[in-house]
Amino acid sequence: MSQSEHRIYARIAGTGSCLPERVVSNEELAQRVDTSDEWIRTRTGIRQRHVAGEGETTSELAYRAALRALEAAGTDPSELDLIVLGTTTPDLIFPSSACIVQHKLGAQGCMAFDVNAACSGFIYALTIADKFIRSGAAKTALVMGAETLTRMLDWNDRGTCVLFGDGAGAVVLKADTETGILSTHMHADGSKKDLLWNPVGVSVGFKPEEENAGVRVLMTGNEVFKHAVKALDAVVDEALESNGLERSALDWLVPHQANLRIIEATAKRLAMPMERVIVTVDRHGNTSSGSVPLALDEAVRSGCIERGQLLLLEAFGGGFTWGSALLRY
């Protein structure tokens, strides 16, 4: 028996997603802050975003996305060995939102935890689940990226409030002897914390009596932009090189959806036409960890992405954190 016949891969068996009901257009935001549909569209590619309403918590959106992914995979929640949720906006400080999702699914007993890697949360969560499956420690995993970032936006800051939206995506991974995730690469640079962060926390001093006084996303957008393009260029090169693949081998790029101009820069680096790039930022805005699995599910369900195709997923976010996953779907 050859070496490769012993290999275990984590293969995506099903995908799902969920968006909040309420849609907020650029025009609606322009009535609140000094901005315009034209500025938002030309600088970011965003036309609208979904904003979570009452009851649409991170765990609830993740749960609904998970139900769809489980159904698509033909998997019962009782089969899950592992639940990992990438999020930077958990329902509560603890327990983790993954534990809340586990309970909602009725999937008692398996391990469940959150991963906070800001917008790279789904790539980090996918990487962890891939390692568990490759090592034989888990056979079936639920991996989600879910956020309600709009809950912590300063709606008077035009520099950030026009960028973000809420949503969740999920995949069910199953151990497979043929193919699946080929490689993942994760990186972080904690020295750039102040360029994209939320200064409110528990151990630095949480003052609930101040009524969300400090709960807001702070970003130096143009600096983040430059770092994102550079890091994503490097991480897509790294993914191809470590698999000995040419750029032309890729069927689809499924990028983090922060800004259409960043997506176009990565596509250019890969010499990929935009018809081979999944774009949802126009309708979803930046949903942080939700963005990659949301885009993936949309492309799978619309029939763009087909079984056997080679996909490159990538993300960049606060931390800084960034990473990629190369997989055969």
Grouping H, G, I as helix, E, B as strand and the rest as coil, residue 202 is coil
- Is the Cβ of residue 59 or residue 120 nearer to ligand UT7 in the bound state? 120
Query: Which of 156, 173, 227 minimizes the C-alpha distance to 195?
Result: 227
Question: Is 99 tagged catalytic?
Answer: no
Question: Is 103 tagged catalytic?
Answer: no
Catalytic-role residue among 119, 161, 185, 198: 119
Could you give the CA distance from residue 150 to residue 80 in angstroms, rounded to a whole number?
A: 30
We find the least distance from the C-beta atom of residue 312 to ligand UT7, in angstroms, to be 18
We find the least distance from the C-beta atom of residue 209 to ligand UT7, in angstroms, to be 31
State yes or no: residue 221 binds ligand UT7 (CB under 6 A). yes
The interface region with ligand UT7, picked from 16-24, 58-66, 165-173, 221-229 by CB under 6 A, is 221-229
We find the least distance from the C-beta atom of residue 248 to ligand UT7, in angstroms, to be 27
We find the least distance from the C-beta atom of residue 211 to ligand UT7, in angstroms, to be 25
Catalytic-role residue among 50, 116, 198, 256: 256
* Options 11, 49, 64, 158; binder of ligand UT7; rule CB under 6 A: 158
3-state helix, strand, coil in the chain (%, to 5): 40, 25, 35
Residue 283 contacts by C-beta under 8 Å, 6 or more apart in sequence? Answer: 47, 48, 49
Residue 145 contacts by C-beta under 8 Å, 6 or more apart in sequence? Answer: 85, 86, 87, 121, 122, 125, 168, 169, 170, 288, 289, 290, 291, 292, 293, 294
Please work out the total of residues on this chain that contact ligand UT7, with binding judged by CB under 6 A. Answer: 21
Kindly write out the interface string for residues 257-296 of this chain, putting x where it contacts ligand UT7 by CB under 6 A and - elsewhere: -xx--x-----------------------x----------
If you ran DSSP here, which 8-state letter would residue 259 be given?
Answer: -
- Is the Cβ of residue 142 or residue 217 nearer to ligand UT7 in the bound state? 217
Q: What are the strands of the beta sheet with 111-115, ordered from one edge? A: 9-18, 167-176, 140-147, 82-86, 111-115
Contact 165, 281 (CB under 8 A): no
* Options 26, 44, 97, 116; binder of ligand UT7; rule CB under 6 A: 44
Any bridge partners for residue 36, and if so which?
A: none
Place of tokens 């750039």: 192
State yes or no: residue 35 binds ligand UT7 (CB under 6 A). yes
Q: What are phi and psi of 140, to 5 degrees?
A: -135, 130
**DSSP line for 131-195:** HHHHHTS-SEEEEEEEE-GGGG--TT-HHHHTTB--EEEEEEEEEESS-SEEEEEEEE-GGGGGG
* Options 101, 119, 236, 296; binder of ligand UT7; rule CB under 6 A: 119
Question: Is 286 tagged catalytic?
Answer: yes
The interface region with ligand UT7, picked from 18-26, 34-42, 137-145, 232-240 by CB under 6 A, is 34-42
Place of tokens 């991963």: 115
The interface region with ligand UT7, picked from 33-41, 59-67, 175-183, 205-213 by CB under 6 A, is 33-41
Residues that bind ligand UT7 (CB under 6 A): 35, 39-40, 43-44, 119, 158-159, 162-163, 221-222, 224-225, 228, 258-259, 262, 286, 316-317
**Which residues belong to the active site?**
119, 256, 286
